C-alpha cells in the first residue's frame, strides 16, 4: 500500500477548498481543510501535514500572520505554498522571507497546483526524490555529477542544457544532496510565463540570491520571459554572483533558446541522455523498482532477460522521465512477478514516439467524456502507426469488429487509408 502524503488546504472560500481538495484526492493525496487560521492550527495539532496550501487574505487573521506564527515554531516545519488572487510584490517578498516556498494564483491552475505539490513534497524528505536518487546511484550519472561538482567549485553561474525528460532539476538536487545539504539550502525559481505574476517571480529570484550564501539556486523556464526581462536578469545574475556565494543553475532544453550559453561568465553544462547509459539500463530499472518498493510499499517485480535485453537496446526518447513512468506503470500491475516483453511493448506503445504518454497534462480539467475521447484517439493513433495503417491488423490488435472500428476512427477524426476497390 502506498504511503499517502497529507496536505492541508487553508482558505476561507468553500469552493476553492473543494476544488483543491478534489484535485489532490484524484492524485492520491490525503487531505484536510480549514476555513480560518484558528481551524488551521487545530488541524495541524490533530495531524501534522506534509504540505500546506495557505490563502493570504482571510477574515480575522490573514495567512501572513499564520505563516509568521508557524515560522517561529520548530514543530511546524512543513513547507507552505501561498494562495492569492491579489498578492502584491511586497506581500510576496514578505511571505518569502517568512519561508513560503511558492505562490499559486487564483483562479487556481491545476497544472501549477500539482507541480508545486509534487516539487515540495519530494523535497520534504532528503533522498526521497526518485530522479535524484537514480542520478546519485547510477555509475555513469555519478561520474558526470562528479565532473560537474569540480566545475561548480571553480565557477558560480551555470547553464544546464539537456533533452526533455532528463530531469535537470534532479541533477541540481543530487548535487545539493551530495555536496551542499549541510551548508545551505536548495531553492527553485520557476517562471510561469504569466504577466500577472512575473514581477513576483522575479522578486522571489532576487530574494533567493540575496539569501543564497552557500546554497544552490535553480532557475527554470527563463525562456518564457520577455527579452527585456531576460537581459535584466542576465545582468542581475552577474552582479549577484560577485556578492553572493550561491551557485546559480539555469535549466534549458535543446528546444529552448541558447542565448545564455554564450554569455560571458556563464559555464555550460551538458547532461547526457539516458541512451548514453544503455549498458546500465538493467541496473537502473532494478534500482527504480527497489526505490518504489521501499518508499511506497509496492510489490517487487523483476524483468525477464528478454525484457532487459529489449530495454538495453531501446533509445529512450523520453529519457529518465520515461523510464520512471514505465516502472510505475509496471508496478501498478501486481498479478505477475516477472515483467515480460509484451507488457513493456504495450506501455511503450502508449508512450508514443516522444516517450511521453499521449495524453494532455490538463486531463483532470476535462469531463469524463472528453478524457475518454482523448485517450481513445491517442491509443488508436499509436496502434495504427504500429500496424502500418492496416485496418485488418488493427482490428485484431485492439479486438474490435472492423465495421465498428471504422466508425470509431471516423468519430475520432483519425486518418486511415481505405483499400481501393479493384475493377475487373
Q: What is the pLDDT of residue 181?
A: 65
Whether residue 107 has a cis bond before it, omega within 30° of 0: yes
Q: Tell me: the pLDDT tens digits for 135-181?
A: 988 888 989 999 998 888 888 889 888 888 898 988 988 888 877 76
Domains of the chain by start residue, with CATH: 6-123 (3.40.50.2300), 130-272 (3.40.50.300), 275-351 (1.10.8.60), 366-411 (1.10.10)
Surface-to-core class of residue 125, CB atoms within 10 Å of its CB (0-12 exposed, 13-18 middle, 19+ buried): exposed
30 DSSP β-pair partners = 6
Looking at residue 409, what is its pLDDT?
86
Percent of residues, the chain, with pLDDT higher than 90: 16
Model pLDDT, residue 182: 63
The CA–CA distances, whole Å, from 237 to 122, 263, 269, 410, 411 equal 27, 11, 17, 54, 53
Q: How far apart are CA 352 and CA 167, in angstroms?
A: 19
Mean pLDDT of 193-212: 74
Q: Would you say the C-alpha torsion 352, 353, 356, 362 has a positive or negative sign?
A: negative
Query: According to the model, what pLDDT value does residue 124 have?
Result: 47
- Please name which of 211, 143, 133 lies closest in space to residue 177, comparing C-alpha atoms: 133
Best CA proximity match to 319, nearest among 359, 278, 287, 360:
278
Identify the residue with better confidence: 108 or 4: 108
Q: Which residue has the higher pLDDT, 16 or 379?
A: 16
Q: What is the pLDDT of residue 36?
A: 93
Cβ atoms of residues 280 and 138 within 8 Å: yes
pLDDT at 323: 93
Amino acid at each position: 500500500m502506498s504511503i499517502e502524503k497529507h496536505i492541508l488546504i487553508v482558505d476561507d472560500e468553500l469552493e476553492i477548498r473543494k476544488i483543491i481538495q478534489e484535485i489532490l484526492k484524484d492524485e492520491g493525496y490525503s487531505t484536510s481543510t480549514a476555513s480560518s487560521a484558528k481551524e488551521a492550527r487545530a488541524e495541524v495539532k490533530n495531524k501534522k501535514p506534509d504540505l500546506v496550501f495557505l490563502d493570504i487574505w482571510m477574515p480575522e487573521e490573514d495567512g501572513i500572520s499564520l505563516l509568521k506564527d508557524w515560522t517561529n515554531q520548530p514543530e511546524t516545519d512543513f513547507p507552505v505554498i501561498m494562495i492569492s488572487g491579489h498578492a502584491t510584490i511586497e506581500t510576496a517578498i514578505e511571505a518569502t522571507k517568512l519561508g513560503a516556498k511558492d505562490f499559486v494564483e487564483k483562479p487556481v491552475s491545476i497544472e501549477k497546483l500539482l507541480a508545486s505539490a509534487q516539487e515540495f513534497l519530494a523535497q520534504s524528505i532528503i533522498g526521497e526524490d526518485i530522479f535524484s536518487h537514480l542520478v546519485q546511484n547510477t555509475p555513469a550519472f555519478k561520474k558526470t555529477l562528479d565532473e560537474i561538482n569540480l566545475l561548480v567549485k571553480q565557477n558560480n553561474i551555470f547553464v544546464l542544457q539537456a533533452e526533455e525528460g532528463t530531469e535537470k532539476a534532479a541533477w541540481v538536487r543530487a548535487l545539493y544532496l551530495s555536496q551542499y545539504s549541510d551548508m545551505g539550502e536548495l531553492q527553485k525559481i520557476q517562471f510561469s510565463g504569466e504577466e500577472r505574476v512575473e514581477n513576483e517571480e522575479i522578486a522571489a529570484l532576487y530574494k533567493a540570491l540575496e539569501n543564497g550564501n552557500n546554497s544552490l539556486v535553480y532557475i527554470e523556464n527563463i525562456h518564457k520571459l520577455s527579452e527585456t526581462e531576460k537581459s535584466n536578469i542576465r545582468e542581475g545574475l552577474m552582479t549577484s554572483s560577485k556578492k553572493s556565494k550561491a551557485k546559480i543553475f539555469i535549466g534549458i532544453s535543446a528546444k529552448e533558446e541558447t542565448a545564455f550559453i554564450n554569455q560571458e561568465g556563464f559555464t555550460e553544462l551538458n547532461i547526457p541522455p539516458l541512451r548514453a547509459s544503455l549498458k546500465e539500463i538493467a541496473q537502473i530499472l532494478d534500482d527504480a523498482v527497489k526505490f518504489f518498493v521501499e518508499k511506497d510499499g509496492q510489490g517487487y517485480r523483476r524483468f525477464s532477460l528478454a525484457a532487459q535485453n529489449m530495454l538495453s537496446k531501446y533509445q529512450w526518447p523520453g529519457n529518465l522521465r520515461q523510464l520512471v513512468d514505465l516502472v510505475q506503470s509496471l508496478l501498478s500491475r501486481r498479478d505477475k512477478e516477472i515483467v515480460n516483453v509484451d507488457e513493456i511493448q504495450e506501455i511503450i506503445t502508449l508512450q508514443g514516439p516522444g516517450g511521453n504518454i499521449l495524453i494532455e497534462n490538463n486531463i483532470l480539467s476535462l469531463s469524463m467524456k472528453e478524457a475518454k475521447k482523448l485517450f481513445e484517439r491517442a491509443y488508436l493513433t499509436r496502434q495504427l502507426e504500429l500496424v502500418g495503417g492496416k485496418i485488418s491488423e488493427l482490428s485484431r490488435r485492439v479486438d474490435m469488429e472492423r465495421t465498428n472500428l471504422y466508425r470509431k476512427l471516423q468519430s475520432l477524426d483519425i486518418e486511415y487509408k481505405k483499400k481501393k476497390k479493384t475493377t475487373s
